[in-house]
Structure formats: C-alpha cells, structure tokens
C-alpha cells in the first residue's frame, strides 16, 4: 500500500500573503494591511493598538507577490508540477470591503471566478479557506473584531455569498485557518486588540466561541447550497512532548495537547470536551452562550480534519526548565536536543508529523488533510541561474515518508498541500526571504525586485513526486 490513487497532491497559499493589489477593485483594508515587516511586525502582532497608530515605511501585504495580476502565469507553473489541488483563501475585504455591507463587491467576486476557472482549466480541485488571518479592518476598529457576536452574522453572510457563488467550482472548504491561533496571536486569529485592563482569556475564548458558532452555521448553509461540499476544520497542529520522562512533565504535555485540540473537538465532535469546565474555572472564563448555540455546534460538524504541521513542541512542569522556552514564534517551546532547527528556530521533526497524525485520527476518526507543511529558508540564485534548495527537498521528503507510513498504518489521508508552494510573504515576520516555495519570486524584504518567477530544484523534484504518486521521494 502507498498513497491512494486519488490522493490530492498540491500546495497552499493565502490571499493576504500573495495577492497584493490591496486596494484594487474596491477592496477594503484587512487587518494585515496595517502590519509592517521584520521585528516591527512581531511587535505589532503583540501590540496591535500601537500598530494602528503608527505609520511604517513598508507594508508587505500591499503588493506581496502581486498574485492578483500574475495568477495565470503562476497557476500555469503549478499545473506544470502536476498539482491536483490548490489551496488559497478568499479575501473577505475584497467581497465585503468593510465587512458589514449587505451587497457584495462584484469586482472582488469576479476575481475569484477568474482565478478558480484558471485552476479548473488544469483540472485542479480547489481547497478554499474562507478566513485566513484577514478580518476586514473596519470590523476590527468598529466592532472590536470577533469579541463581538455580530461578527457571526457578517461572516455568515460573507460565507453564504461565496459558497453560493462558487458552488460549482469549489469542493473543499475550510471555515477558519488555524482556529487555535486565537489563543496565540489573537489579532491574526480574531482581529482582537486586547487592552491591558481586560481579562485576555475571557475575550479570547468568547471570540473563539463566536467563530465556532459561525463555522457551524456556514457548514449548515453550505450543505443546503451544495450537498457535495466537503468541510474541514483547520488546526495549527504539532504534538507537545514532555521535556523529561517525569510524570509531571508527561501530564503537562498531555493537558496542553488536550487544550490545543479543544476547538477541533467542538468542530469535529460537536461538543465542548469533558475538561472544558475545569479549564474555564482555572482560567476564570465565563463563556456566554445563546440559546441554540449548542445545537448548532452539535448538528454541523466537519467532514475532515485539516491541519498545518511544521514542528513538534516541548514543555515541562518545572518552572526553572521552562525559563528556557523560546517565545519568538506564535508557539513557545523548549529546545529539543534531538532535533535540528531551521534558521528561524522552527525545530524539524518528521516523526512528529506521524505522531500528530496518530493523535488526530485516534481522537476524531475522520479523514486527515495536511494543508500546510514546509521549510521556511533562504534561497540563493547560483551563477548559472539555478536554485538548489536541497534542504527543502529533504525536509519535504522526510515528512512525506512519515505520511506514507501513517497511511500504511491505516489512517485515511485526503491530500497534502505544501505551504507557500510559490514564494510569498511570511505571515509571522512579513519577510520575503523566509521562502517556502518550489517557485522563486524575485522580491526582497523591502518590496524591491523584478517579480520574476524561477523554478527551483524542488520544483522538478515535486513534479516527479506527483507524477509517481509518491513512489519517488
Ligand atoms: C501558518 C499560517 O501558521 O504558518 C500561514 O497558516 C503561515 O499563514 C505559515 O505563513 C508559516 O508561517 P510564517 O510565519 O513562516 O509565514
């Protein structure tokens, strides 16, 4: 046994990291459009109020890789690799520039019609994220983002508009990208600007509840719009290991894993898990639910479990050990002495992917879809114009080996979309030089460069992987 014959090989990007054209054809601003790059971006993500009041020299999302104008050429390259599926997101602010309008922006809708037609021309399935870190800025400033229950209605109206419009073009839908990001980078995840004098946990869990209800309502509507739609949840995954075999570390790791699964438990099983009451007590959270919420969650669960996987993580119950945690990224972790790390400190753990898949399948018994995985690394162009990204190839090869093993163990896996299949702006740092792609885009961290697309060595490697249905790795 190996990869199933209908395995969906492909790649993924997101609107806000690729499209650019941030004000074209009536698009409104989304929250990423006020984020700078580099160290300023990391600060801005943690202090969005300050970012709102600051003018920066450069905003990477404004032009990104100009996918908005380059998509025919870019999709053609993806088709040349043999992509069976392409994952991107729809920019909410292209469809509803402020977010609370009743009438959608036809020009925005037309763009995605054209983009999707281009993919369908090459027989690529579409996997579309309804909301990927880009809530319209107006909803952040005027409604407080997802802390406000009104966002459920705005999102639902947006979701129904696109589900209806693209019902004959798109089959696979993800309601929210990395829904657990609400707890880690709440500005990205929920358009939340947390004030110092408010209870952050209370706001974050309440906002997450609103997203969970919104997700279920979108699925409910989607099923009437087209019963063949397949809906997935999306988790920023990565098993958390105990630092030591000490039972207190093992217990802490187990509890942290449970906590990261919490929202997926709701989306996959339809109920908040058994430990919720204790967790909310510990965190002093009083969740406000409306009549009918529980039924909506229960009746509209997802069809498959999608997730991003970049790394495993490590924790300890010992506060002294925990002092060494790195906090540079969205997730904190201790350093695992058995693993190497990327230049950005992301620890490389292919076996961790299999462990994560085992946990997810064990818990939900629904098909898995790996919708993000890859290595963010610098690339350089050789004198002869080639890009030898051997490190990226071995990263992906090692992860594909583990996916194959998981499939052979008996886990149903729908597909694999590597992250940033064409170089895009990094979400976390806004840099261009943190590249994930098979296709190099000549843009630098300040927005300079010709924008030219160049096939890397990994392009030909992945082409062969797809052609051989994973036999060649
Ligand atoms: C995921 C996000 O968390 O990680 C993507 O869904 C993001 O949007 C990816 O790009 C990689 O992170 P980064 O910061 O390297 O771009």
pLDDT in the model for residue 135: 98
- How far, in Å, is the centroid of ligand 1 from the Cα of 277? 31
- How far, in Å, is the centroid of ligand 1 from the Cα of 425? 9
Tell me how far the alpha carbon of residue 112 is from its chain's centroid: 19
CB atoms near residue 355 (< 10 Å): 16
* Best of 182, 330, 375, 428 for a ligand 1 pocket test (most atoms within 8 Å of beta carbon): 428
- How far, in Å, is the centroid of ligand 1 from the Cα of 73? 24
Q: CA angle 51-92-101, nearest 5°?
A: 100
- How far, in Å, is the centroid of ligand 1 from the Cα of 215? 21
Closest-CA residue, ligand 1 atom 8, reads 427
Strand partners, 273: none
Closest-CA residue, ligand 1 atom 14, reads 428
Over residues 87-129, the pLDDT tens digits come to 999 999 999 999 999 999 999 999 999 999 999 999 999 999 9
Contact in structure between 208 and 182 (CB atoms under 8 Å): yes
Residue found under tokens 């490697």: 461
pLDDT in the model for residue 329: 72
Q: CA angle 191-192-197, nearest 5°?
A: 170
Closest-CA residue, ligand 1 atom 3, reads 236
328 pLDDT more than 90? no
Ligand 1 atom nearest 346 alpha carbon: 15
Contact in structure between 314 and 321 (CB atoms under 8 Å): no
297 pLDDT more than 70? yes
Closest-CA residue, ligand 1 atom 16, reads 426
Q: What percent of the chain has pLDDT over 90?
A: 98
364 pLDDT more than 80? yes
Q: Average of pLDDT values for 331-342?
A: 94
Active site residues: 372
Ligand 1 lined by 129 (C-beta under 6 Å) = no
pLDDT in the model for residue 201: 98
pLDDT band at 330 (very low <50, low <70, confident <90, very high): confident
* Best of 233, 372, 377, 445 for a ligand 1 pocket test (most atoms within 8 Å of beta carbon): 372
Residue 366 structure tokens? 């629904």
**How many Cα neighbours within 13 Å face the side chain of 99?**
26
Over residues 445-470, the pLDDT tens digits come to 999 999 999 999 999 999 999 999 99
- How far, in Å, is the centroid of ligand 1 from the Cα of 102? 31
Ligand 1 lined by 434 (C-beta under 6 Å) = yes
Over residues 388-414, the pLDDT tens digits come to 999 999 999 999 999 999 999 999 999
Q: Which of 132, 253, 142 is nearest to 181 (CA)?
A: 132
Ligand 1 lined by 236 (C-beta under 6 Å) = yes
pLDDT in the model for residue 326: 85
Over residues 56-72, the pLDDT tens digits come to 999 999 999 999 999 99
Ligand 1 lined by 428 (C-beta under 6 Å) = yes
Strand partners, 315: 242
Closest-CA residue, ligand 1 atom 10, reads 427
* Best of 45, 427, 429 for a ligand 1 pocket test (most atoms within 8 Å of beta carbon): 427
Helix pair 350-364, 247-269: axis angle to 10 deg: 60
Q: Average of pLDDT values for 134-149?
A: 98
Residue 59 structure tokens? 């905003």
Ligand 1 lined by 14 (C-beta under 6 Å) = yes
Residue 175 structure tokens? 């309601």
Ligand 1 atom nearest 436 alpha carbon: 15
What's the ipTM?
0.99
Ligand 1 lined by 178 (C-beta under 6 Å) = yes
pLDDT band at 1 (very low <50, low <70, confident <90, very high): low
Ligand 1 lined by 431 (C-beta under 6 Å) = no
Over residues 159-216, the pLDDT tens digits come to 999 999 999 999 999 999 999 999 999 999 999 999 999 999 999 999 999 999 999 9
Residues in the chain: 473
Whether pTM exceeds 0.95: yes
Over residues 207-233, the pLDDT tens digits come to 999 999 999 999 999 999 999 999 999
Residue found under tokens 């495993």: 312
Quote the CA–CA distance of 420 and 456 in Å, as a whole number.
13
Q: Which of 215, 210, 203, 216 is nearest to 286 (CA)?
A: 203
429 pLDDT more than 80? yes
SS3 for the chain, per residue? CCCCCCCEEEEECCHHHHCCCCCHHHCCCEHHHHCCCHHHHHHHHHCHHHHHCCCCCCCHHHCCCCHHHHHHHHHHHHHHHCCCEEEEECCHHHHCCCCCCCCCCHHHHHHHHHHHHHHHHCCCEEEEECCCCCCEHHHHHHHCHHHCCHHHHHHHHHHHHHHHHCCCCCCEEECCCCCCHHHHCHHHHHCCCCCCCCCHHHHHHHHHHHHHHHHHHHHHHHHHHCCCCEEEEEEEECCEEECCCCHHHHHHHHHHHHHHHHHHHHHHHCCCCCCHHHHHHHHCCCCCCCCCHHHHHHHCCCCEEEEEECCCEEECCCHHHHCCCECCCCCCECCCCCCEECCCCCEECHHHHHHHHHHHHHHHCCCEEEEECCCCECCCCCCCCCCCCHHHHHHHHHHHHHHHHHHHHCCCEEEEEEECCECCCCCCCCCCCCECCCEEECCCCCCCCCCCEEECHHHHHHHHHHHCCCCCC
Angstrom CA distances, 264 to 40, 109, 307, stand at 32, 30, 10
Which domains can be identified in the chain, with CATH numbers?
Answer: 8-467 (3.20.20.80)
pLDDT band at 29 (very low <50, low <70, confident <90, very high): very high
Q: Which of 9, 7, 13 is nearest to 461 (CA)?
A: 9
Ligand 1 lined by 37 (C-beta under 6 Å) = no
């Amino acid at each position: 046994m190996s990869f199933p014959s209908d395995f969906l090989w492909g790649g993924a990007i997101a609107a806000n990291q690729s499209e650019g054209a941030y004000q074209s054809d009536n698009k409104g601003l989304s929250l990423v459009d006020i984020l700078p790059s580099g160290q300023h971006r990391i600060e801005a993500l943690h202090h969005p109020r300050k970012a709102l009041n600051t003018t920066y020299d450069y905003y990477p999302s404004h032009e990104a890789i100009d996918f908005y104008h380059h998509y025919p050429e870019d999709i053609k390259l993806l088709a040349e690799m043999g992509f069976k599926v392409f994952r991107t997101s729809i920019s909410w602010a292209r469809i509803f520039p402020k977010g609370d309008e009743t009438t959608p922006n036809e020009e925005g809708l037309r763009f995605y019609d054209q983009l999707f037609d281009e993919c369908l021309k090459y027989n690529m399935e579409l996997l579309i994220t309804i909301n990927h870190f880009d809530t319209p800025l107006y909803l952040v400033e005027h409604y407080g983002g997802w802390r406000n229950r009104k966002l459920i209605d705005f999102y639902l109206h947006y979701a129904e508009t696109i589900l209806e419009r693209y019902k004959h073009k798109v089959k696979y839908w993800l309601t929210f990208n990395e829904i657990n990001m609400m707890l880690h980078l709440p500005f990205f995840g929920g358009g939340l600007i947390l004030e110092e004098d408010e209870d952050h946990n209370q706001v974050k869990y309440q906002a997450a509840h609103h997203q969970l209800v919104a997700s279920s309502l979108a699925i409910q509507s989607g099923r009437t719009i087209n019963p063949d739609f397949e809906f997935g949840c999306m988790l920023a995954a990565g098993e958390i290991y105990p630092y030591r075999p000490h039972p207190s570390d093992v217990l802490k790791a187990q509890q942290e894993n449970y906590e990261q699964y919490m929202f997926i438990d709701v989306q996959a099983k339809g109920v908040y898990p058994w430990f919720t009451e204790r967790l909310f007590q510990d965190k002093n959270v009083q969740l406000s639910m409306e009549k009918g919420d529980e039924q909506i969650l229960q009746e509209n669960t997802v069809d498959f479990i999608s997730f991003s996987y970049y790394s495993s993580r490590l924790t300890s119950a010992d506060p002294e050990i925990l002092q060494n945690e790195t906090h540079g990224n969205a997730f904190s972790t201790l350093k695992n002495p058995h693993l190497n790390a990327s230049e950005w400190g992301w620890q490389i753990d292919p076996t961790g992917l299999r462990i994560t898949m085992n946990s997810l399948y064990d818990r939900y018994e629904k098909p898995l879809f790996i919708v993000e995985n890859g290595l963010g690394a610098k690339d350089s162009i050789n004198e002869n114009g080639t890009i030898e990204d051997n490190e990226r190839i071995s990263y992906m090869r090692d992860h594909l080996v583990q996916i194959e093993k998981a499939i052979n163990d008996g886990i149903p896996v729908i597909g694999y979309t590597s992250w940033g299949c064409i170089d895009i702006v990094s979400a976390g740092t806004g840099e261009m030089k943190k590249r994930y792609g098979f296709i190099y885009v000549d843009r630098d961290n300040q927005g300079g460069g010709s924008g030219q697309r160049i096939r890397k060595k990994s392009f030909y490697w992945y082409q062969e992987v797809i052609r051989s249905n994973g036999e060649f790795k």
